[in-house]
Amino acid sequence: MTGEQILDATDPVAWGPALDEAVNALARGGLVVLPTDTVYGVGADAFTPAAVQALLDAKGRGRQMPPPVLMPDVRTLDGLARDVPEAARALAEAFWPGALTIIVHAQPSLAWDLGETHGTVALRVPDHALALALLRRTGPLAVSSANLTGQPSAVTAQEAAEQLGDAVPVFLDGGPTPGPVPSTIVDATGDRLRVVRLGSISLEQLREVADVDEPAREDPAR
């Protein structure tokens, strides 16, 4: 791990070169660590299967746990998902950008391989200026928390570098993130919306917008 791989991107006026490095790394099929509004994430081009596999390998994570996809704008939703319930759209409009991940049916025509998704995809628009600036240039990115599976989530670029090391060529240092509370996950693929994981957004907040079921007791801890 060399210090040059951690690029200062704390000042929007001066983060252009760091963003260029990140965009180039992703275009080559490499990984990039970036800050979000929860914790640091490690991202790959969502449409490059080898890059997504490299992301899973870097974390020590299997294909049975596919990464979510971050988008630059709520308007990207219909390009990646089909049959989105109106209640899920209401949640997206209310909480994006923000710490809400929504699981929906993926567009079957998309040329991607995120793992064993069973035709679904978990989507989110992060509320972080640097992350959004990167996403506007790259398009959707597969992004998972920037830590080894089972280890604490990283809230600084240095913490991410200590865990992921040489598996990632570019680390965007946007300063500490709010972490460690993750995004709330809602499954919108069934007959009713259901919380899969409670995080930054509470069940009460969700229910102010849409009818959402609480997590089932048999759900494993995530």
pLDDT band at 74 (very low <50, low <70, confident <90, very high): very high
At 209 the three-state DSSP class reads coil
Residue 182 has what pLDDT?
92
Mean pLDDT of 151-164: 96
Q: 30-63: per-residue pLDDT in tens?
A: 999 999 999 999 999 999 999 999 999 999 999 9
Rg (CA), the chain: 16
Strands of the chain (E only): list them. Answer: 6-8, 32-34, 41-45, 69-70, 81-82, 100-106, 120-124, 141-145, 170-173, 184-187, 193-197, 212-213
Whether residue 220 has pLDDT greater than 80: no
Whether residue 160 has pLDDT greater than 70: yes
Mean pLDDT of 71-98: 97
d(CA 12, CA 198): 31
Residue 219 has what pLDDT?
44
Q: 179-196: per-residue pLDDT in tens?
A: 889 999 999 999 999 999
d(CA 132, CA 20): 14
pLDDT band at 221 (very low <50, low <70, confident <90, very high): very low
Mean pLDDT of 103-117: 93
pLDDT band at 3 (very low <50, low <70, confident <90, very high): very low
Whether residue 140 has pLDDT greater than 50: yes
Residue 218 has what pLDDT?
55
Residue 1 has what pLDDT?
42
d(CA 199, CA 102): 13
Query: Quick one: 3-213 is in which CATH superfamily?
Result: DHBP synthase (3.90.870.10)
Residue 5 has what pLDDT?
87
Whether residue 155 has pLDDT greater than 60: yes
Half-sphere exposure at residue 19, Cβ-oriented, CA atoms within 13 angstroms = 17
With tokens 């994570």, the residue in question is 61
Specify the amino acid at residue 190: G
Whether residue 2 has pLDDT greater than 60: no
Whether residue 216 has pLDDT greater than 80: no
DSSP state of 215: P
